[in-house]
Amino acid sequence: MTTYPLRLAMVGGGPGAFIGAVHRTAALMDGAFTLVAGALSSDHKKCQERAAEWGIAPDRAYASWQEMLTAEQALPEDVRAQVVSIVTPNHLHHEVAIAALDAGFHVACDKPLTTNSENAEAIAKAAAKSTGLFLLTHNYTGAPMVREARELIAQGESGPIGTVRKVYVEYLQGWLAEDLEASGQKQAAWRTDPKRNGPGGSLGDIGTHAHNLAEFVTGQRITRLLGSRRSFVDGRAVDDDAMALLEFEGGADGMLRCSQVCVGRENGLSIQVFGTKGGVEWRQEHPNDLTIYSADEGPVTRRTGNGYLSALAQSSARVPAGHPEGYLESFGNLYLEFADAIRTGGPMPDHLPSIEAGIRGVQFIEQVIASDDAGNAWA
């Protein structure tokens, strides 16, 4: 649907930032956006350096996001940025998002939405009043085989999975198994700082991905949980490991695990869902494969790019079967579909992560912490 690029401004993503470069690549890969402005770092010199690398004009590399919003609004309508991408540490999300929405910009925000429910509700109120659309970039929802799993489960008893009974989701990493933040490593430093990351460490960084994946794939909300969290590294101010027993609105139950101290694990996000007739399994480190289980046959693997997939899964793939695609492309799907929603004036398709998904992610963090603080009581 996109025929010419929308103009994108970015907040965050300066030198040394990981996720900013990911968002830039994803937004530009289909020609749906062009990056025209940015407040890329609180250090204006670093902002200008990154802007030069990314082809942003020097006069649109701003010293602050406040300056950027004001200056961009003052430009002619056919020149100013239309969309603001927020890729800052979590504690800055709400202030930037609210200001951008109030100014009429569309907003794409990295997860989690913010650091507490109060700020999350404030963003939701701003979005409800704004002419701008809002996207939360839970990128794994853009993966073709995650979408295929969702489509199969949505068929209920008429489909191959039946009624959902069990959900197991985990996200295991090992990169914070030691006190990496003490070395000054930028990514570790802010993710283990409760003032910037929020009260959840692994919960906020990767647990929210697992939570979102479970609700997205099953199409059901988690209604109750029993949580536990730990900090294995001495002196760490936030959790680096957490677990939760889950209950879903449709009657299923399950378990969520997230950890950043599993030595040797890289990016082990996976989900298994079992119903009355069969099950599905997806692993992020092998994103093109979806395993389907049934009582009558052995495991069957469906793969990206094939004609037997659902229309949504097929439209989410860019290359023919057998050609690998994954992390960046899943982000790209979100940005491309967001651009199409902007062009048509909305609404957002229901498979794109919304404000509501963001609020629920923040509530998940808070509920696990509350459950753990109460001696592992159900919350």
pLDDT in tens, 237-273: 999 999 999 999 999 999 999 999 999 999 999 999 9
196 and 117 within one domain = no
pLDDT in tens, 197-212: 999 999 999 999 999 9
185 and 203 within one domain = yes
78 and 166 within one domain = no
308 and 207 within one domain = yes
58 and 186 within one domain = no
* Residues 55 and 48 sit within 8 Å (Cβ to Cβ): no
pLDDT at 2: 57
Give the CATH number for residue 147: 3.30.360.10
Q: Is the pLDDT of residue 362 over 80?
A: yes
Q: Is the pLDDT of residue 53 over 80?
A: yes
* Domain termination residue (choose one: 84, 109, 139): 139
Percent of the chain surpassing pLDDT 70: 99
In a domain, 328, yes or no: no
Using pLDDT thresholds of 50, 70 and 90, give the confidence band for residue 379: confident
As a whole number, mean pLDDT of residues 37-62 equals 96
pLDDT in tens, 67-94: 999 999 999 999 999 999 999 999 999 9
pLDDT in tens, 292-324: 999 988 899 999 999 999 999 999 999 999 999
In a domain, 187, yes or no: yes
Q: Is the pLDDT of residue 28 over 90?
A: yes
* Domain termination residue (choose one: 72, 105, 139): 139
In a domain, 325, yes or no: no
pLDDT at 1: 57
308 and 294 within one domain = yes
Instruction: Please give the tally of structural domains in the chain.
Output: 2
Query: Which structural domain, as residue segments, surrounds residue 196?
Result: 143-319+354-373
In a domain, 125, yes or no: yes
112 and 147 within one domain = no
156 and 39 within one domain = no
39 and 22 within one domain = yes
167 and 135 within one domain = no
Give the CATH number for residue 99: 3.40.50.720
148 and 121 within one domain = no
In a domain, 130, yes or no: yes
* Domain termination residue (choose one: 119, 139, 159): 139
Using pLDDT thresholds of 50, 70 and 90, give the confidence band for residue 180: very high
193-210 burial, b if ≥16 CB within 10 A, otherwise e? beeebbbbbbbbbbbbbb
In a domain, 169, yes or no: yes
As a whole number, mean pLDDT of residues 356-369 equals 98
In a domain, 326, yes or no: no
As a whole number, mean pLDDT of residues 51-70 equals 97
361 and 273 within one domain = yes
In a domain, 324, yes or no: no
